[in-house]
Structure 1
Amino acid sequence: MRVMVIIKATPESEAGQMPSTELIAAMGKYNEELVKAGIMQGGDGLKPSSKGVRVKFSGKDRTVVDGPFAETKELIAGYWIWQVQSMDEAIEWVRRCPNPMTSDSEIEIRPFFEPADFGEAFTPELQEEEKRLRQQIDAQSR
Structure 2
Amino acid sequence: MAKYMLIMRGTEETTAAMMATPFDEMMAKMGRVNEEMIRAGVLLTGEGLDDPGQGVVVDLSNETPVVTDGPYGETKELFGGFWMLDVASKDEAVEWAKRLPRMPGAKCEIRRVPTIDEFPQDNEWVVKERAFRERTGQL
Q: TM-score band, normalised by the shorter chain?
A: 0.7 to 0.9
- Report the CA distance between 1:52 and its aligned residue: 0.4
Q: Which runs of 5+ in 2 are unaligned?
A: none
- Report the CA distance between 1:64 and its aligned residue: 0.4
Q: Aligned Cα RMSD in Å?
A: 2.6
DSSP 3-state at the match of 2:7: strand
Q: 1:79 aligns with which of 79, 82, 106?
A: 82
Alpha-carbon deviations, 1:68-117, whole Å to 9, x = none?
22345331011111111100000111112222x3x231111011123354
- Report the CA distance between 1:128 and its aligned residue: 3.7
Q: 1:89 aligns with which of 82, 89, 92?
A: 92
CA contact (8 A) 1:14 1:49 kept: no
Q: 1:27 aligns with which of 30, 34, 50?
A: 30
TM score, norm. by length of structure 2 = 0.81
Q: Which runs of 5+ in 1 are unaligned?
A: none
2:114 maps to: 113
Are 2:16 and 1:17 aligned? no
1:38-77 aligned at under 5 Å gives the runs 38-77=41-80
1:129 maps to: 128
Alpha-carbon deviations, 1:37-81, whole Å to 9, x = none?
111111111112110001111454111011122345331011111
Counterpart amino acid of 2:132? L
CA contact (8 A) 1:8 1:77 kept: yes
TM score, norm. by length of structure 1 = 0.79
- Deviation larger for 84-93 or 59-68: 59-68
